[in-house]
Amino acid sequence: MKHLRCLITIFSLLLGSAGALMTESITPIQADSSYPTNGTPSGPPFQFLGGYLVGGFSQQPADINTISDQSYSLTVNGNRGFFDPLFLNNITWYEYGDNHKWTQVNQTNLLPATLTTSTHVTQVTTRYYQAALNYSGFLSSKTFWSQTAKVTISPQAVSATDISVDAASDTLPNGNSINMQAILTPSNATDKVTWSIDNSSIASIDANVGTLTANSDTKKYGPVKVTATTANGLSASKQMYVGALQDTVVPEGQTATFSVKGFPTGSSIIDWHQVTPDGTDTIATNQPNISAGTGTNQLKNGILTIKNTTYAQNDYRYYADIQLPDGSQKATTNSATLEVIKGQDLSLDAVPNFVFRKSDQTPLSISDIAKGTTLTASKTVDVKNQTGNYDGNDRNALFVYDPRPASSGWRLSASMSPFTNSQTGQIFGGHGGLATLTMIDTTGQAVGQLVDNQTNTLIKSNSKPNLTADADLSPSTLTLQPTSLVTPGQYDATIYWTLANVPNP
Q: Which helix (H) or strand (E) holds 369?
A: helix 366-371
DSSP per-residue letters across 437-478: EEEE-TTS-EEEEEETTT--EEEEEE-SSS--EEEE-TT-EE
How much is the pLDDT for 384? Answer: 46
Same fold, 2-18+345-500 and 253-341: yes
* Superfamily holding 253-341: Immunoglobulins (2.60.40.10)
According to CATH, the topology of domain 27-242 is Immunoglobulin-like (2.60.40)
How much is the pLDDT for 150? Answer: 93
Does this model's pTM top 0.75?
no
The CATH code of domain 2-18+345-500 reads 2.60.40
DSSP per-residue letters across 124-190: -EEEEEEEEEEEE-SS-EEEEEPPPEEEEEESS----SEEEEE-S-SEE-TT-EEE-EEEEESTT--
Domain ranges of the chain: 2-18+345-500, 27-242, 253-341
How much is the pLDDT for 144? Answer: 94
Own/partner pairs, 446-453, CB within 8 angstroms, 24+ separation: 447/398, 447/471, 447/473, 448/414, 450/414, 450/415, 450/416, 450/495, 451/416, 452/416, 452/417, 452/418, 452/419, 452/428, 452/493, 453/416, 453/418
How much is the pLDDT for 123? Answer: 93
How much is the pLDDT for 253? Answer: 77
How much is the pLDDT for 58? Answer: 83
Please list the rounded mean pLDDT of every run of 10 residues in the chain (505 residues): 46 33 31 78 75 81 92 89 83 93 93 93 95 89 92 94 92 90 92 94 93 92 95 94 94 89 86 96 94 85 92 94 80 93 79 87 86 85 53 83 73 92 90 93 90 93 79 92 90 90 76
